Structure 1
Amino acid sequence: MSGEAKWNEAFADLAEVLVSDFDLADLLHRLADASMRVCGAAGAGIVVADQTGRLRDIVYSSEGIRRLERIQLDTGEGPCVLCYRSGQAVQEPDIASLAERWPRFAAAASGLGIHSANAVPLRLRGRTVGALNLFHPRPGVAESAALRAVQALADLAMLGIVQHSHAGAPPESVPVQVRNALLERSQIERAKGILAEQGSLSMDEAFERLRHYALLHGAGLTQAAEALNTSPASAESVLSATAP
């Protein structure tokens, strides 16, 4: 598939969510997936600032990426922190060269087979509220057109959040709405744990099964997670419906 075709598909996928009655978890996971396809990234993560200004990981493509994001947030090292603080896109073409500047991040990334990274800001009403991170298995500079497309995807998602907010709500409520996705994430994590335990799955496998089940039933990701958390016995139905 050509680069242009990948970008068109990514925008169409995100737009499909935006024209529906989406929940934030669905939207942000679709944003991460679409951005990975556009850039050919091996992993992606999204961080947002909570109401105290502390960065929190909210979306990650795998448990390995989640650990890498946590290291960035715990140590203050890495592209997502720099991107959020500066409000500018960050490109790190050779993570090995960052061993002195960001020693813990560089070591963790190398251990996961990640050798370059990009980050683009998540912007709402002129404010940077978080960052989208993309991780690559090889060193090198990402294609500038692809990064512009990723920034456009991020901006489109943020515009969708503005539109999705309650009519007449003050500007301060929009970042609060983004941060509400932290609560949605906790529901998703609980549901993943139930599926992982009952189905003898990894957390990554459990998440894919939960997502698949939500799609099969036309439900939001958070809605599917809440239903499972309310009735853990229904895990067997989820596992049966999504069996490979």
Structure 2
Amino acid sequence: MGNLPSNESLAEAFVRVAGGLTTGSDVVGYLGQLVDRSVAMLEVDAAGLVLADPQGNLDVLACTSEQARLLEQWQLQWHEGPVVDCYRSGRALAVADLGADRTTRRWPRFGPSCRGAGYVGLLAVPMRRHEQVLGVVSLMWCTAGGVDGAAVRIAQALADVATAGLLQWREQYKQKMLIAQLTDALSSRVVIEQAKGVLAERLGMDTEQAFGVLRGSARAGNRRLTAMARAVIDGVGEQRRAGPAPGSGRAAAGR
């Protein structure tokens, strides 16, 4: 790795990472900016980021190059490598020499593949909240020299700030989804109540019986209850717009 960034550069980077993700933001674009900024700040040659879904399956979300993306995908496919071990342990893992015998023994497929791609070392840092690991950021370099403790701390701090932003975004997104679901539920309830009133008047029954008819029709037609209710209301509206049926009203009275 090269020289460490200045305090001013660090402060600017943390501010941008912390404020880069808001409700409605492009998450993939945000994570892409994170790995780009990590490469620029720590002067490494490539970076990647994987995130876990609710079932704990990892997926590659951002990489600075196609080669780095392949290396990340191989780790997930082979279930071996620093990223996989970092995710399992929740601790940062630095590998100074990917060609060392012990590295090859530990990761028999990934070690030689990464070294063959030209990368000498790799640092994986977890994106975690308490004991929960959300994903892993990995940094790769092509020249010997390893990584010092200060660089590891900076990389981990960037990942921590990004994790906080990601969690906040998820919470805001959940709140938006919850509000939308509540609004939809209230709207559906209004439609269903209107349809119950229509059926009760049309069939000469109380609203509880009308609800039974509505629900039975929805099940028989394999339709959602709200969709069936809208069909009932729309059908009444179409009848009203069409006017009285032939033979009704005055015409019937004059027979």
- Pairwise same-fold verdict (TM > 0.5): yes
Name structure 1 gaps, 5 residues minimum.
174-244
Equivalent residues of 1:44, 1:61 under 8 A apart: yes
> Which of 143, 150, 154 is the equivalent residue of 1:138?
143
Partner of 1:75: 78
1:113–1:164 distance in 2 versus 1, CA, 3 Å: same
Partner of 1:47: 50
Which entry has the higher C-alpha Rg, 1 or 2?
2
Partner of 1:180: none
Partner of 1:24: 27
Please list the CA deviations of residues 201-235 of structure 1 after superposition, one character each: whole Å capped at 9, or x if unmatched: xxxxxxxxxxxxxxxxxxxxxxxxxxxxxxxxxxx
Equivalent residues of 1:17, 1:26 under 8 A apart: no
Deviation of 1:167 after TM superposition, in Å, equals 4.8
Partner of 2:159: 154
> Which of 5, 13, 17 is the equivalent residue of 1:3?
5
Q: Report % sequence identity.
A: 35
1:147–1:156 distance in 2 versus 1, CA, 3 Å: same
Is 1:38 matched with 2:41?
yes
**For residues 15 and 168 of structure 1, what CA distance do their matches in structure 2 show?**
17
Q: TM-score under structure 2 normalisation?
A: 0.60
1:61–1:167 distance in 2 versus 1, CA, 3 Å: closer
1:165–1:16 distance in 2 versus 1, CA, 3 Å: closer
Partner of 2:245: none
Relative contact order (C-alpha < 8 Å, sep 6+): which is higher? 1
Please list the CA deviations of residues 138-163 of structure 1 after superposition, one character each: whole Å capped at 9, or x if unmatched: 23331211221111111111111222
**For residues 63 and 2 of structure 1, what CA distance do their matches in structure 2 show?**
26
Report the AA paired with residue 27 of structure 2: L
Equivalent residues of 2:4, 2:151 under 8 A apart: no
Report the AA paired with residue 111 of structure 1: G
Deviation of 1:17 after TM superposition, in Å, equals 1.6
Deviation of 1:55 after TM superposition, in Å, equals 1.6
Partner of 1:123: 128
Aligned residues: 171
Is 1:92 matched with 2:92?
no
**For residues 37 and 67 of structure 1, what CA distance do their matches in structure 2 show?**
21
**For residues 61 and 158 of structure 1, what CA distance do their matches in structure 2 show?**
19
> Which of 104, 109, 116 is the equivalent residue of 2:114?
109
Deviation of 1:107 after TM superposition, in Å, equals 1.8
**For residues 151 and 13 of structure 1, what CA distance do their matches in structure 2 show?**
16
1:9–1:167 distance in 2 versus 1, CA, 3 Å: closer
Q: TM-score under structure 1 normalisation?
A: 0.63
Name structure 2 gaps, 5 residues minimum.
179-255
